[in-house]
Structure 1
Amino acid sequence: MAGSDSLFGFGKGPPALLLFLAGMLISNIGRSAYFVCVTWIALTWSNSARLVTILLFTSTLAQFLTSGVSGYFADMVDRRRLSVSLDVVRALVVALTGCAIAAKIGIWVLFLSVALYSVVDRGYLTAMQSMIPALSRRRSAIAANSASYLVMQAGTFLGALLAGYLLHTLPYGIGLFPIAIIFATSAVTLSAARTELSDPTHANSIYSKPRFQLRFMYHLGRHRLIAPTLIYSLGFGVGFLFSSLLAAYVLDEMKGGAVLFGQMESAWAFGAVLACLLLISGAGKLLADFGLAPLLFLSGTGLILLWMIPGPITAATLLVALGVIYNASRILMDARVQQTVGITEIGRTKGAINTAATGTGLLAFTFIAVAGDTLAPSDIFAQYGLLVIAVAAGFLLPALRGRPRSHDEDRSA
């Protein structure tokens, strides 16, 4: 590295870089802790995996409906100020949820909280990710995204551990207040950057006009991202499965409690951190050449192994491996977007990709909700694993048979 201003591929100086990464770390601690706590509270209150799935379906539906709008605002306003504002709103939503839980208003509060939180959270994530191109050099997109994801997943790892502690030691309602404080701290941290991270986009092309906001797939087709988005969305579905079923898998099939659940969440997060370290260490080009389709195939294999070989040690090992694959795919996809899409369209392109990914999640949640408690979580893991293996094989077989692949398939990483 030439110096501190090129650390991990970032082009900005240390103050802007450190404040950006610190804000991401703190925010993701709160984000992970919130989702783990709400998932566990819903499961223990209802004793039904179906209700947890419906709860997370609500979250995904909210993101699906607002991902495009979030991308539009991320392109049209100051991204730093937008992120700070949304952090403040997240703190208020979590604090009010804690009050409602403490007052024992009812389980419907969790649905309202998750819906509101997910809308705000999607906007925050899109705004923050849209800042990365302004902070980094295009040729270092993989390294820069790996560094940002490393911080995010470190926060997810710490947040999962924090959630297990809060659920174990504090009443459920009171346990959400420290998470609200975390979001407030994140807002203060990012606001300290003042104008250093501001990226007011002068969206003056025809593609920036609002009517193009409604044509989500336009941005994907224009930049040859349709095939990679399909593969990415199915891989992203693995995360949806774990968010909805991991608690039930731990409770029903592993006979564990909140602490073991936190440990399994931490294993998944650790794998995501490991992926970042591998990409930063120079494996980025190797994985980019490997492609998204083989990574999807490996994800399906891991899901089937969770069904075949149950047990805490095996599950933790597989969750680490799946976390590596999952996060490597996300980083490579983000890097490709930032290398091929202009900075004034980053937000809307990310919004289109998130719309497709959350749409896949909605389909997965619908299947889980219909199946309800009639299928064990590991059975659903195995069935989804077979699906993604079949799709991945459809992209890989032409290459194995010696036929040239299309540009989108060949460049899916």
Structure 2
Amino acid sequence: MSEPVLDRSVRSPNFRRFWIGQSVSFLGSEVSLLALPLIAVVTLNADATQMGILTALGYLPFLLIGLQAGVWVDRMRRRQILVWSDLATAVLLLTLPAAALMGVLRIEQMYVLALLIGGIEVVSSVAHQSFLPSLVERRELPAANARLEGSSSVATIAGPSVAGVLVQLLTAPIAVLIDAVSFIVSALVLRSVRVEEPPPLPPDESVGMRAQVSEGLHHVVRHRLLRPLFSCGATHNFFRRMIEALFVLYVVNQLGLDPVALGLVLAAGGPGALLGAAVAVPLAQRIGLGRTIVWMQVLTGISCFAAPLAGGPPWLTIAILAAGQFLLGVARPVFNISQLSLRQAITPDRLQGRVNATMRFIMWGVTPFGALVGGLLGSAIGLRPTLLLAAVGVLLAFVWIAASPVRALVTVPDAAEG
């Protein structure tokens, strides 16, 4: 029997356990964020098209099961989903160093792992976002999300630099072991969280998957505040995935940086993200929630121009790339904390899973196409022109928010809408 949460605040033991578990997972994931592409580029000699396919497969599950994931989350205990997702991811990651040790590692295995881990991420991310409102009051969602983003920021600082050193000294497959261990630790910590969740959908309400999916989809598409949020997110993610698909290949092969330098560049986003997580709540209180979301998307777009403009001696190349990562690090936590807190606050408890899943289906469902387009364009017109085009697209995503009712919001609403 779950114990009721008496203290539904960011200071409660349950939230602290949840926070610790996610923080450990964040760190391991940051290690793999660099290690996995480096395996493809350095160990398997992947080209631009293969990197595009690899990135696309990681996001393809958002299209394949994105909407269904919301119904599954609403039908099950969300904490259990998080625990089993961590354990399954750990097992999958362990197959990489095992294959490398036996000398049978191939790009096809990377493709399969990207697809499977991406599928787990779709379900677990919806469960994560839907579980948080069970831990804290709605008015404390911005503070709770800020703490989680702060942990993510610390991981962003430590993860890439640690990964770069590990890859340089021990090879990328061995670095992936750290990520696998982190997911196991996260699962064990999450098992200790005791919270009274909203009851799963009873059998008589959960017989029709299509009807449940349709309810969440219609709620999101018709909502005056959610519609501009997913439009901005989809535009941003399409063009950002173009950049992501080519970034490691571009930096290593065209700009000539080694794994340690690449790790330092990516780690530069960490201090920015830490700053962003710290100022997100006071900034929104000062200039308004809506304006905060608009300006952080603009800053994100500006940061994306660093990659195509980088060049010159190695120190200058590293400085330009690091500056871009720092700006991106500042902007994304503030944007994410603001829009996610808004989304969670205006969504009824019974729809949390489906609304979060639908939003992610729309916003992330476009990412496989962005990655594929990035890879194909990179092969056709070159890496630098493709990165420049993608940066323009990311910048223009702010228009969706600037021209919507979201821009006028001063703070997070106290009650759900719809």
Q: Which amino acid aligns with 1:360?
A: V
Give the CA deviation at 1:336.
0.8
Give the CA deviation at 1:237.
4.1
> Which residue of 1 is the match for residue 414 of structure 2?
none
Give the CA deviation at 1:301.
2.7
> Which residue of 2 is the match for residue 240 of structure 1?
241
Query: What is the TM-score normalised by the length of structure 1?
Result: 0.86
Structure 2 residue runs without a partner (length 5+): 1-5, 312-316, 412-418
CA contact (8 A) 1:337 1:346 kept: no
CA contact (8 A) 1:30 1:179 kept: yes
CA distance in 1, matches of 2:205, 2:223: 16
Give the CA deviation at 1:210.
2.4
> Which residue of 2 is the match for residue 275 of structure 1?
276
Q: Which moved more, 1:315-324 or 1:201-210?
A: 201-210
> Which residue of 2 is the match for residue 262 of structure 1?
263
> Which residue of 2 is the match for residue 315 of structure 1?
321
> Which residue of 2 is the match for residue 367 of structure 1?
373
Q: Which amino acid aligns with 1:234?
A: T
Distance 1:261 1:344, change over 3 A: same
Give the CA deviation at 1:359.
2.4
CA distance in 2, matches of 1:313, 1:13: 39
Give the CA deviation at 1:36.
1.8
Distance 1:394 1:344, change over 3 A: closer
CA contact (8 A) 1:270 1:320 kept: yes
> Which residue of 1 is the match for residue 289 of structure 2?
288
CA contact (8 A) 2:76 2:200 kept: no
CA contact (8 A) 2:14 2:195 kept: yes
Give the CA deviation at 1:153.
3.0
> Which residue of 2 is the match for residue 80 of structure 1?
79
Q: Which amino acid aligns with 2:305?
A: I
> Which residue of 2 is the match for residue 251 of structure 1?
252
Q: Which amino acid aligns with 1:247?
A: V
Query: What is the 5 A alignment of 1:7-406?
Result: 11=9, 14-44=12-42, 45-105=44-104, 106-193=106-193, 196-197=194-195, 199-203=197-201, 210-215=209-214, 217-224=217-224, 225-237=226-238, 239-280=240-281, 282-285=282-285, 286=287, 288-310=289-311, 311-393=317-399, 396=402, 406=404
Give the CA deviation at 1:47.
4.4
Q: Which moved more, 1:22-31 or 1:139-148?
A: 139-148
Distance 1:348 1:394, change over 3 A: closer
Give the CA deviation at 1:410.
4.1
Q: Secondary structure at the match of 2:257?
A: coil
Distance 1:359 1:317, change over 3 A: same
Distance 1:304 1:25, change over 3 A: same
Give the CA deviation at 1:167.
1.0
CA distance in 1, matches of 2:63, 2:52: 16
Give the CA deviation at 1:85.
0.9
Q: Which moved more, 1:115-124 or 1:196-205?
A: 196-205
CA contact (8 A) 1:168 1:259 kept: yes
Distance 1:203 1:156, change over 3 A: farther
Identical aligned pairs, as a percentage? 19
CA distance in 2, matches of 1:376, 1:95: 35
CA distance in 2, matches of 1:27, 1:220: 29
CA distance in 1, matches of 2:408, 2:368: 28
RMSD (CA atoms): 2.7
Give the CA deviation at 1:160.
2.0
Query: What is the TM-score normalised by the length of structure 2?
Result: 0.85
> Which residue of 2 is the match for residue 399 of structure 1?
none
CA distance in 1, matches of 2:49, 2:187: 35
Q: Which amino acid aligns with 1:25?
A: S
Q: Say how many residue pairs are matched.
A: 395
Structure 1 residue runs without a partner (length 5+): 397-404
Q: Secondary structure at the match of 1:270?
A: helix
Q: Which amino acid aligns with 1:162?
A: V
Q: Which amino acid aligns with 1:324?
A: V
Give the CA deviation at 1:360.
2.7
Distance 1:305 1:247, change over 3 A: closer
Q: Could you report, residue by residue, the CA deviation over 1:169-210 in whole angstroms, capped at 9, with x for unpaired residues?
A: 2134333223212211111111123xx135253436979952
Q: Which moved more, 1:343-352 or 1:294-303?
A: 294-303
Distance 1:412 1:374, change over 3 A: farther
Give the CA deviation at 1:83.
0.7
Q: Could you report, residue by residue, the CA deviation over 1:261-316 in whole angstroms, capped at 9, with x for unpaired residues?
A: 11122123433232111124x12333614143443333223323442354211210
